[in-house]
Structure 1
Amino acid sequence: MQMTDLNVIAFPGGFNWPLWVGQKIGCFETEGLNVVVHATRDSRSQMSGLQSGDYQIAFTGFDNVLAYASDAGERAPLDPVALMGIDNGLLYLVGQSRFGEVSELRGQRIAVDALSTGYAFVLFALLEAAGLSTSDVQLESIGGVAQRFEALIAGSQEASLLVTPFDLMAQTHGLKIFERALNQLGAYQGVVAAATRAWLADNRDTVVRFIAAFRRALDWMLDRANRTEALEVLRDNLPALPEAILIETADRLSGTDEGFFPMARLDRAGMETALQLRLKFAPRNLGPVDQYFDENPWIEADRRIKGDIH
């Protein structure tokens, strides 16, 4: 079988677990794919790499798809489309422990990836629920979750949104979790697998095979019979994570409350929430949510899985 190279760019974190599993147990290889996972520092460089063709698939927040599809991103516009749903974001507002609640962050420095992309609007919603507007705090764009975590530890920022396992790691450094985003938002589409429409048009079969392979890896990973081996994959890829946090991360990611979407299917209600947040905090001409995702490759991959076609 001739192998197809596929470069995937993603933020660092436990939500890459199914990708690592797929590489480890040969799910991608079975579909004729040589998948290489690259880490990104921030959404701007991630989307720039997608646009240039250096990477073919990005694991990114659905709001980034909205931002760059609507020319609201912090780089040149492109035509990304969401193809597969990974999770609901696993987002937590974390800050210095000297603050008792979110409302006490008035006037403080709060780190974001980018001011108009990423999960900035989720942060704005959490601040608003606590009676704060964006003008009440000092928003600073410093990069992806790893950079924001480091800034919190260093004390150069007072708060930021973190994703699992960074929120758990933050607690071990004496930081405080103020709020879980889902408590305020309800349904929310966090990470998605996205590609440009132009690349998708020329590589549809590759995308279908990638989704099918990812689904098989996810199914294997979520099967309790494979728990020991799956944990080993997570451990190998997050070697600096203390064992207790690694186990808690695994439990959260594989749980039914806020973990991976079991079939990696996009959450329409969650995508609508992301769209409404963008319309609220950065009003501009956006179309209906259907314009920003294409579920047909997922449907084709689902048929492929059920028919066990390779």
Structure 2
Amino acid sequence: MHDITRRSAMTLAGALAAGAASAQGPARLNVVAFAGASNLVLWAGQAQGIFARHGVEVALELTPNSRAMASDLYAGKFDLALTSVDNIVAYNEGQGEAQLPGPSDFAAFFGVDDGMLSVMAAADVPDLAGLRGKVVSVDAMTTGFAFVLREVLGQAGIADQVEWVAVGGGAQRLAALLEGKQAATLLNTPLDLAAEARGFRRLARGRDAVGAYQGIVAAARRGVIDQKRAALVGFTRGFRDSLAWLDANRAEAAAILTARANMPPPVAARAATALLDAERGIYRDLRIDEAGLRTVLRLRSKYAQPAKELGDITRYIDPSIRAAALG
């Protein structure tokens, strides 16, 4: 009973605080993200004034790689990040590649998708075995989705028979793939569809290899969650309502991708359909999939250095913002 009362009080407090913030004018949130699914929601919410209606002004910047994301989020350049939850785990466990000035206190407060990941390769690579002896790219060697690709290639028996290179975020990896600098990489939707439209081959889907997986989340430092709770509640509501608007306006969703992601209209239409798929696209309930997060911890326990056995998912999440926004 005590827990129910506490959650109800938190929800009411969040609602009152968000209302107060709205009355005083929008609260600015500096948001960093990678090229991917979540940006469609942000672009729509900005254009339609949805975040503003929830008392929030969203200022979005794209990051070149997970190292820059972690450093900038830690330093306070950004209030929140839309990033792989694996990045949150990695830096909280001291396994990230960027050297932060002190211990990380990142926490995910809602989920976006399962990563929507595919191994994309040059047209002359017939299958995963065809990558043997070739160059494959990741964002960073020990964070992001690198361990998903290691697992996929490990199941094919070739993880130690390829040359690994760190290139940066999805946009950078797509560009390098299109330029022929690598034979394959792991891309999320809609970047996988952009590659496919240029004749590149889909060799595997991440979800088929690893099962349940938590991909992108909204995350912030725990101190920021405490200090900017009302704004983060408004952001979460704005994200939910922007997604609902996209659901009801599929043609406009495709047009946004054409304009903002420079996608040809046929590719943008396919991307919008994939991103808004009720079963496999962006999570309507903004959940953090606990089974998927456990998969992230399992892969990190298997591959990361220094080696750690990870199992406690509560170390990396703060459910209070989502509870206040959607409760």
Whether the TM-score (by the shorter chain) exceeds 0.5 is yes
Match of 1:40 among 59, 63, 81: 63
Partner of 1:136: helix, strand, or coil? coil
Assess if the C-alpha contact under 8 Å between 1:97 and 1:176 holds in 2: yes
Structure 2 residue runs of 5 or longer lacking an equivalent are: 1-23
CA distance in 1, matches of 2:282, 2:311: 28
Shift of 1:229: 3.2
Note if 1:202 corresponds to 2:227.
yes
Match of 1:65 among 72, 88, 93: 88
Amino acid at match of 2:280: E
Amino acid at match of 1:170: A
Could you report, residue by residue, the CA deviation over 1:221-246 in whole angstroms, capped at 9, with x for unpaired residues?
Answer: 123xx2233333333312x2111110
Equivalence for 2:299: 277
Amino acid at match of 2:75: S
Could you report, residue by residue, the CA deviation over 1:273-300 in whole angstroms, capped at 9, with x for unpaired residues?
Answer: 1111111111325451111111111011
Amino acid at match of 1:153: L
Equivalence for 1:168: 193
Match of 2:323 among 293, 299, 310: 299
Partner of 2:308: helix, strand, or coil? coil
Match of 2:287 among 265, 268, 285: 265
Equivalence for 1:212: 237
Amino acid at match of 1:231: A
CA distance in 1, matches of 2:225, 2:136: 37
CA distance in 2, matches of 1:162, 1:227: 23
Could you report, residue by residue, the CA deviation over 1:146-197 in whole angstroms, capped at 9, with x for unpaired residues?
Answer: 1111111111111110111221121232221100111112211111000011
- Over aligned residue pairs, what C-alpha RMSD do you find? 1.4
CA distance in 2, matches of 1:264, 1:222: 15
Note if 1:227 corresponds to 2:253.
no
Inter-CA distance 98–229: structure 2 relative to 1 (3 Å threshold): closer
Match of 2:263 among 230, 237, 241: 241
Please give the TM-score of this superposition, normalised by the length of structure 1. 0.92
CA distance in 2, matches of 1:166, 1:192: 18
Note if 1:289 corresponds to 2:292.
no
Identity %: 37
CA distance in 2, matches of 1:198, 1:287: 24
Could you report, residue by residue, the CA deviation over 1:83-113 in whole angstroms, capped at 9, with x for unpaired residues?
Answer: 1100111101011222221122122111110
Structure 1 residue runs of 5 or longer lacking an equivalent are: 304-310
Inter-CA distance 230–154: structure 2 relative to 1 (3 Å threshold): closer
Equivalence for 2:164: 139
Equivalence for 1:28: 51
Equivalence for 1:106: 132
Partner of 1:88: helix, strand, or coil? coil
